[in-house]
Amino acid sequence: MKQTIKLSLVAASILALTACNQKAEEKPVEVKLETELQQQAYGIGASVGNFLQKDLADKKGFGVELDQALLMRGFQDALAGEAKLDEEKIREVLTALDTSVRELQAEKTKADAEKNKAEGEKFLADNAQKEGVTVTESGLQYEVLSTADGKKPLVTDVVKVHYKGTLIDGTEFDSSYSRNEPTTFPLNRVIAGWTEGLQLMPVGSKFKFTIPSSLGYGERDLGKIPANSTLVFEVELLEIQDEKVEAAAE
């Protein structure tokens, strides 16, 4: 919190100082980026300016829209030694602002999570009625896209797969296909939906899994994967690596 306030103040002070200089000269400051020092000076201003722009936009997203004219005036007054709030009051109001924003953020996160859960439940109910979709006892849904005669992995196996993961609206959040590189992992160290689902797959097959949030990441908000998200994966099981190791040892 202290770092956020400090960076906000630094960014605002630079903007305010720029405004003061422009007012005094009655014309825009000519930007010269010919030397390294000039580029460094401009870079500092651009960096904190970008931070402040994002910080104000984030606050606006939670319904807190700060008066930028007052922000600029506050720093102009402070630079002139005529600030209308003392340092103690400034710390008090900025701490209150930070607390308010965090509370609003928590409320939005909770509301979004509840919405995701409701939408996910409806999606699962609709998907379960589609031809070719099987629902397991746990609630995992799967569809066989292509089959093969390979061996099915055990929970203790290490598997190699290609996959694509999307949210129910089709937004892709991860894909080994996009990286052009399969991924390898122990089957007992991934989300429950994967641990259960891949044990149903013969090597060489490709399945589509629709995973309830309870078998995925639950209430955790992972950024690209919001809290309570129902997940859709297309998974291609390439090999069981433990078998490969055992064969080489014989």
- CATH at 189: 3.10.50.40
Q: Would residue 210 count as lying in a domain? A: yes
Q: Is the pTM of this model over 0.75?
A: no
12-45 pLDDT per residue, tens: 555 545 544 444 444 566 788 889 998 998 888 7
Q: Would residue 95 count as lying in a domain? A: no
Q: Would residue 162 count as lying in a domain? A: yes
Looking at the fold, whether 62 and 156 belong to one and the same domain comes out as no
Quick one: tokens of 128?
């379960």
Q: Would residue 62 count as lying in a domain? A: yes
pLDDT for the residue numbered 76: 75
Cβ-based neighbours of 187, under 8 Å, separated by 6 or more: 153, 154, 155, 156, 157, 158, 159, 194, 195, 198, 199
pLDDT for the residue numbered 75: 64
Among residues 58, 84, 110, the one where a domain terminates is 84
Q: Would residue 103 count as lying in a domain? A: no
pLDDT for the residue numbered 54: 87
**Per-residue pLDDT tens digits of the chain, which is 250 residues long:** 444 445 444 555 555 455 444 444 445 667 888 899 989 988 887 887 788 788 888 888 888 888 878 877 876 787 788 888 888 998 999 899 999 999 998 898 899 999 999 999 999 999 999 999 999 999 999 999 999 999 999 999 999 999 999 999 999 999 999 999 999 999 999 999 999 999 999 999 999 999 999 999 999 999 899 999 999 999 999 999 865 444 433 3
Cβ-based neighbours of 154, under 8 Å, separated by 6 or more: 187, 199
Looking at the fold, whether 78 and 134 belong to one and the same domain comes out as no
> Rg of the chain over CA atoms, in angstroms?
27
Among residues 29, 49, 84, the one where a domain terminates is 84
Please list the residues that pair with 240 across neighbouring strands.
159
Instruction: Dump the DSSP string for the chain.
Output: -HHHHHHHHHHHHHHHHHHHHHHHHTSPPPP---SHHHHHHHHHHHHHHHHHHHHHHHHHHTT----HHHHHHHHHHHHTT--SS-HHHHHHHHHHHHHHHHHHHHHHHHHHHHHHHHHHHHHHHHHHTSTTEEE-TTS-EEEEEE---PPPPPTT-EEEEEEEEEETTS-EEEEHHHHT--EEEEGGGS-HHHHHHHTTPPTT-EEEEEE-GGGTTTT---SSS-TT--EEEEEEEEEEHHHHHHHHH-
Q: What is the CATH number of the domain that holds 50?
A: 1.10.287
pLDDT for the residue numbered 62: 83
123-145 pLDDT per residue, tens: 999 999 999 999 999 999 999 99
Range of the structural domain that residue 75 is part of: 2-84
Number of structural domains the chain divides into: 2
Q: Would residue 48 count as lying in a domain? A: yes
pLDDT for the residue numbered 230: 98
**Residues annotated as catalytic (active site), given as ranges:** 163, 173-174, 191, 217, 233
